[in-house]
Structure 1
Amino acid sequence: MEIRNPESAEAERIREVVDSSMTTSFRLSPGQIDGLVGDQFADEAIADKREDEQILLQVAETGAEIEETTITGFVEGRLEDGWGEVRWLFVDPEHRGKGIGTELYETATETLRDRGADHVCVSVLEANTEGHDFVERFDLEHDGDRRVEIADESVVNYVYTNPDVDANLPDSTAEDAADEEFPETERVDGQLTTTDDGTTVFINRDEKESGTAAPFFTTYEDDGYTEQYGFYCANCGSLGISMDNMDRLECSDCGNSHAERSTESYDDSYL
């Protein structure tokens, strides 16, 4: 395997890797995937990124043990305010299980540090149902949410950092995903709550599960998060969440649904 900078003529192959990876592992509709790929990875977009000294682009190319040499993975990072941020990382589903994602991540973070980054953070789309587990394997912790506009759609990025780093995250055009992202809620003594037939329910923002429209959050009967009540749908504010025998969640009010993360389909090769 070789990790290198991509050539301008390889934009089409990068899009193929991104598209197939998102189709396999992201909770996004085909239209959303098409819009995101076209917005972020079109020929012109990649050309502009290659010319930007603050942006890092690297690809993984298979070695001699594979019959045909091809790009099997892609990573994008950025330098900003002393931080190196890993923004995108994709591995072709046909080539997973070979450590490609891990190699891309480690090479990208090392390169960002060599270029002057004091700290490293990672952004993962909320819809990337398997990527969150991957990031946590590098001892990074969820440090906040950001709402960003991609292809005219508002999406949420989870930001992960090293818990030992005491520094402000880089400035960004992204907005914090604050309480307005939680319909039918209010703050009680600083904690996010909602009500069910007059009963106050506490929402634990650190316990999230992906949804097709918005995430689900675990709810509790007490402010110490010891007695679980159920789940809260961040799309409509409902507590009417059902769970089937495969641990899949679905909101009875708006249809927001969740697919359980599969540890069998997930491996160290994918972010």
Structure 2
Amino acid sequence: MVPSNAESDGIEIREAKTGDVEGIRRVAADSLGASYGDVLDDDVIEHAVEEWYGDETVEAELDTDGMLYLVAVAGGDLVGFSQSAVLSENPAGNILWIHVAPTHRDQGIGSTLLKQTQAMLSDRGVERVAAEVLAGNESGNRFYEEHGFEKTTDRETEIAGESYVENVYVQQGAEQFEVHEVGDRTLYVNWAESERGSEAPFFAAYSDEDGENLYGWYCSNCQSFDNAMDTMERLECNDCGNTKKPVRWDAAYL
């Protein structure tokens, strides 16, 4: 179990509070700018930060059991955070982001955040943890490999209209697929391949156990496969109205 406040080498790790929203947004903006300034225009980053880390969005996520925010504080300043989607009943968790302020990188803060995040997810009943990293992010891929994760697959993702390869990592030894019998069809839900939803994550569902033939998406909010995606890749569950949120990008793991 992770204590409410854990300290390591002068860094305090704790669950985020409403008063941390401004610091979370600042760190996200600085981290994205430092990591993607040569890939994405400033206005794209600014729009993403405002949409993902606006006051109402983060406050709502802090108030739900489906999202976990841990922050790293040094000298009274918020210098990093992790953001994870929690699906304890599955029981799975996806690390969406680990952000560290550029001025505090190369100090082990990312590693500390990851370890405390894993411990907190375990405390919440999560047994399987996944994370996604762009193939071109050498430090990000190396970060997870050095911390006991293994690559299970890769897929295409789109950033600012350009296509990139994204690697999917899971904790070593974890089962990747969960079998579901739907009528006369057997589907294989890949809990390591998800899309963020307004209520809960969507997980990719395959018609084969090798995960090569995508059948559709599994809504973890209502355990339904009845959903639809339009040509703009807007995904919505027909049973509960859970909707796919904007595409996330991999974080800066330093």
**Smaller-chain TM-score bracket:** 0.5 to 0.7
What value does the CA root-mean-square deviation take over the aligned residues? Answer: 3.1
Aligned length: 176
Matching of residue 165 in structure 1 with residue 187 in structure 2: no
Please state which structure has a larger fraction of its residues in strand. 2
Find the aligned partners of 1:147 and 1:108 in 2 and give their Cα distance: 27
Secondary structure of 2:152 counterpart:
strand
Note if contact 1:11-1:41 (Cα within 8 Å) is conserved in structure 2.
yes
- Pairwise mapping of residues 169-180 of structure 1 onto structure 2 (< 5 A)? 169-170=190-191, 172-173=194-195
Secondary structure of 2:26 counterpart:
helix
Secondary structure of 2:147 counterpart:
coil
Gaps of 5+ in 2: 1-10, 178-189, 196-201, 205-211, 213-251
Distance 1:129 1:23, change over 3 A: farther
Note if contact 2:15-2:70 (Cα within 8 Å) is conserved in structure 1.
yes
Amino acid at match of 1:44: E
Gaps of 5+ in 1: 177-189, 191-268
The residue that corresponds to 2:17 in the other structure is 7
Match among 23, 43, 52 for residue 33 of structure 2: 23
Note if contact 2:128-2:175 (Cα within 8 Å) is conserved in structure 1.
no
* TM-score normalised to structure 1 length: 0.56
Find the aligned partners of 1:35 and 1:145 in 2 and give their Cα distance: 27
The residue that corresponds to 2:77 in the other structure is 70
- Pairwise mapping of residues 137-152 of structure 1 onto structure 2 (< 5 A)? 137-145=146-154
The residue that corresponds to 2:50 in the other structure is 38
Secondary structure of 1:142 counterpart:
strand
Secondary structure of 1:89 counterpart:
strand
Cα offset, 1:106, TM superposition: 0.3
The residue that corresponds to 2:98 in the other structure is 89
The residue that corresponds to 1:270 in the other structure is 253
Structure number, greater radius of gyration:
1
Matching of residue 115 in structure 1 with residue 98 in structure 2: no
Secondary structure of 1:158 counterpart:
strand
The residue that corresponds to 2:69 in the other structure is 57
Secondary structure of 1:110 counterpart:
helix
The percent of aligned pairs where both chains have the same amino acid is 31
* TM-score normalised to structure 2 length: 0.60
Distance 1:148 1:57, change over 3 A: farther
What do the CA deviations read for 1:194-222 (whole angstroms, capped 9, x no partner)?
xxxxxxxxxxxxxxxxxxxxxxxxxxxxx
Cα offset, 1:137, TM superposition: 1.1
What do the CA deviations read for 1:30-84 (whole angstroms, capped 9, x no partner)?
222112212211111101110110211110001xxx4xx2001110112222112
Note if contact 1:25-1:130 (Cα within 8 Å) is conserved in structure 2.
no
Find the aligned partners of 1:128 and 1:41 in 2 and give their Cα distance: 23
Note if contact 1:147-1:175 (Cα within 8 Å) is conserved in structure 2.
no
Secondary structure of 1:20 counterpart:
helix
Distance 1:120 1:20, change over 3 A: same
Distance 1:113 1:146, change over 3 A: farther
Secondary structure of 1:124 counterpart:
strand
Distance 1:12 1:118, change over 3 A: same
Matching of residue 135 in structure 1 with residue 144 in structure 2: yes
